[in-house]
Structure 1
């Protein structure tokens, strides 16, 4: 029981968390930080991709997202195909049982409503649909908080994503692009709000120490193979990306610039190894970041950053370092524009090392002014996310909202109290 005599709120967090993607885990960390501050009495657990990692790192109980352990491996044998099929049925019951135990389930950030990277409809989109449908069925409020979305071509994936969004009790997005995409896919977004990415709510991590060598450049790389629509030429896109980034890094090294390679997911490590081997210079080193805080410390120590993964960009921009985006999706362009660096985007599908060097030199010429711009935009993002947390509390924790209201006013009428009630659930 809480101090008010009420049972504690039971909150679940859901997603591909603890699976090696630093951006996803950073969004979880931001939400947990808010819950521990604003709702310390809440009981929190997770249904996620990497339950052992989530429990070890964040100290909350966690359950595996999929019953079938080989869910994200290609099924070529009959046994694997049967296992996946059975897993879909078992997961429907597992998910509903897990959702039923909670008052609220939060999906923290992440690009859960997009397919900007290769994605099968019966993987995570199906899992998200099960979550939102279960919430509506058993009366548990499901909140998609600060999520990313994009227009999806695959009909099955689009249908699952659209119904997931419709069934959620609360939705907010990390950019206008995401809200517009959901509206275009048939979701009523009239009550949905846009806020900065949840990672902007994390504490700003300063550089642990000044760089030993002046002129350090951080280059964030990615195991990039194009979008979900590029499966037929994925290897060609991947090779072109690696060749372009390698040529850019080699050009920096030839100028005597130290380069620090960054990743954002475990799958990126092979790209780092390829570039290190191809350039073969002691000026090129690899960071071993295991969190967004680590990435922020790395980018804060650099003179400039060139990065591909979305949350590599977030970390660099939040640290206030002039940044150039190797943009693989419209969400990267939208983020850079929001932070005042919209002119510094380069297509990840067609990396032209010569043109990239020209953009990089222009970025460095304007570095002082860009740092001032980033400082201002970061202050704005912090204030906007404070509004996000307040809206989330009003929407998902009405009991606490009413209790707070009664404490502050002792004689207001019922009509006055009604004005502070949370908004109705979205359709």
Structure 2
């Protein structure tokens, strides 16, 4: 495949990739798989949070998303404050230079338009705005592919997210509440489509023909402190979440059930340590997953899964394992409903261990039926994602003779390393 200029297309991928969040990296892996299958001649690189990890793991050149290395650390000293401020100016230039080198830039999945977890407007929301503005300025098509969005309380964050979405050349969402949230923020979404999360395009790891039964119960935990609007109560929310999870895990071990603790981000490890210390049982072990494929293998071997992080849920559902969500955002509820398990959601910020145990027991009683449901829903998700990749071919790579011409939505595109 070649660009309109007769050379291989230059494609950039952008986001908090390689930074320790397995869900973000899984979305990147899905998009790279699509590019390598459909556009093998494309020259691909990244502007991302963890460039060393992205290059080592995926074999593409990568540059740091932020010039200032302490961008996501709290700045209390004058030097740090000045460094962050200077970094905003430098990043505007660096991002523009990087975008201009590309034909297409893809933002692969991730909750880039949401504030369900704490964030600052001058962090990633500002970086995304710079990307989309540069794309519009230089005619590079920027695609927000299968992203998550939510209602945002902070006015500056909301404005940056709204303008980023408006300036993008292509938008699709991983669920209906995400599209609804962007519409409520004043973004025209009539041509924006909804597709399953990109992780559903990843291969499902093979499962042993005769897995040990009963298997463990996988419990996916999270350093959960509430949403961006919950900052004043963050520690209280975290304490209640941790106490409720500990009570549930203890109840499982007292019933003789082995428990396997899962995470989805490096920041979750202290929660694993706290649970293991509090329960103090040899039945509680923890997994060291380095990718969504690792998580899928863990969840595929489980009898059932109870999880908080969104992509822990995705992995368990894709593996076809009966799953109960400790839901911290609408996106989790929407995912469970889409996969036919909408009845098995429990609020992460207000865990009732007794009620959670009842829901879990009901989940296990319906295990065979739920496994059949998940098999059907996974097939439907795979077909729907094939449709999304076909749409991307037509909209982002119109010079590709294999891609049929279709009208593009109100949307934008890029690639190469920045010094």
Within 5 A, what are the aligned runs for 1:319-398?
319-398=319-398
Name the structure 1 match of 2:249: 249
Aligned length: 412
- What secondary structure does 1:86 align onto? helix
Q: Structure 2: state its 5+ residue gaps.
A: 413-419
CA–CA distance in structure 2, aligned partners of residues 215 and 358 of structure 1 = 19
Alignment deviations for residues 171-196 of structure 1 (CA, whole Å, 9 cap, x no partner):
00000110010000000001100000
CA–CA distance in structure 1, aligned partners of residues 294 and 206 of structure 2 = 10
Name the structure 2 match of 1:312: 312
Contact 2:191–2:410 (CA under 8 A) maintained in structure 1 = no
Alignment deviations for residues 30-71 of structure 1 (CA, whole Å, 9 cap, x no partner):
000000000000000000000000000000000000000000
CA–CA distance in structure 1, aligned partners of residues 14 and 138 of structure 2 = 17
CA–CA distance in structure 1, aligned partners of residues 93 and 371 of structure 2 = 51
| TM-fit CA distance, 1:206 | 2.8
Name the structure 2 match of 1:423: 408
Structure number with larger C-alpha Rg: 1
CA–CA distance in structure 1, aligned partners of residues 253 and 275 of structure 2 = 12
CA–CA distance in structure 1, aligned partners of residues 165 and 408 of structure 2 = 17
Contact 1:208–1:297 (CA under 8 A) maintained in structure 2 = no
CA–CA distance in structure 2, aligned partners of residues 77 and 9 of structure 1 = 44
Contact 1:206–1:296 (CA under 8 A) maintained in structure 2 = no
Name the structure 1 match of 2:207: 207
CA–CA distance in structure 1, aligned partners of residues 310 and 74 of structure 2 = 26
CA–CA distance in structure 2, aligned partners of residues 248 and 38 of structure 1 = 46
CA–CA distance in structure 1, aligned partners of residues 222 and 3 of structure 2 = 48
Name the structure 1 match of 2:80: 80
Name the structure 1 match of 2:402: 404
| TM-fit CA distance, 1:425 | 3.4
Q: Structure 1: state its 5+ residue gaps.
A: 406-418
CA–CA distance in structure 1, aligned partners of residues 156 and 226 of structure 2 = 20
**Off by >6 Å, runs of 4+ in structure 1:** none
Within 5 A, what are the aligned runs for 1:44-59?
44-59=44-59
CA–CA distance in structure 2, aligned partners of residues 2 and 100 of structure 1 = 18
Name the structure 1 match of 2:65: 65
Question: Judging changes above 3 Å, is the alpha-carbon distance between structure 1 residues 254 and 50 closer, same or farther for their aligned structure 2 residues?
Answer: same
Name the structure 2 match of 1:282: 282
Question: Judging changes above 3 Å, is the alpha-carbon distance between structure 1 residues 208 and 222 closer, same or farther for their aligned structure 2 residues?
Answer: farther
Range that drifts further, 207-216 or 382-391: 207-216
- What secondary structure does 1:25 align onto? helix
- What secondary structure does 2:377 align onto? helix
Name the structure 2 match of 1:117: 117
| TM-fit CA distance, 1:3 | 12
- What secondary structure does 2:177 align onto? helix
Alignment deviations for residues 102-121 of structure 1 (CA, whole Å, 9 cap, x no partner):
00000000000000000100
Instruction: Choose between structure 1 and 2 for higher RCO, CA contacts under 8 A separated by at least 6 residues.
Output: 2
Question: Judging changes above 3 Å, is the alpha-carbon distance between structure 1 residues 340 and 424 closer, same or farther for their aligned structure 2 residues?
Answer: closer
Name the structure 1 match of 2:140: 140
CA–CA distance in structure 2, aligned partners of residues 420 and 131 of structure 1 = 26
Contact 2:142–2:411 (CA under 8 A) maintained in structure 1 = no
Name the structure 2 match of 1:411: none
Contact 2:192–2:409 (CA under 8 A) maintained in structure 1 = no
Asked if 1:223 corresponds to 2:223, the answer is yes
- What secondary structure does 2:248 align onto? helix
| TM-fit CA distance, 1:216 | 1.2
CA–CA distance in structure 2, aligned partners of residues 153 and 178 of structure 1 = 15
Q: TM-score, normalised by structure 2?
A: 0.96
CA–CA distance in structure 2, aligned partners of residues 12 and 182 of structure 1 = 24
Question: Judging changes above 3 Å, is the alpha-carbon distance between structure 1 residues 389 and 87 closer, same or farther for their aligned structure 2 residues?
Answer: same
CA–CA distance in structure 2, aligned partners of residues 334 and 39 of structure 1 = 32
Contact 2:168–2:411 (CA under 8 A) maintained in structure 1 = yes
CA–CA distance in structure 2, aligned partners of residues 95 and 423 of structure 1 = 25
| TM-fit CA distance, 1:404 | 2.8
| TM-fit CA distance, 1:214 | 2.4
- What secondary structure does 1:261 align onto? strand
Contact 1:210–1:301 (CA under 8 A) maintained in structure 2 = no
CA RMSD of aligned residues (A): 1.6
| TM-fit CA distance, 1:205 | 1.3
Alignment deviations for residues 299-356 of structure 1 (CA, whole Å, 9 cap, x no partner):
0000100000000000000000000000000000000000000000000001111110
CA–CA distance in structure 1, aligned partners of residues 327 and 295 of structure 2 = 18
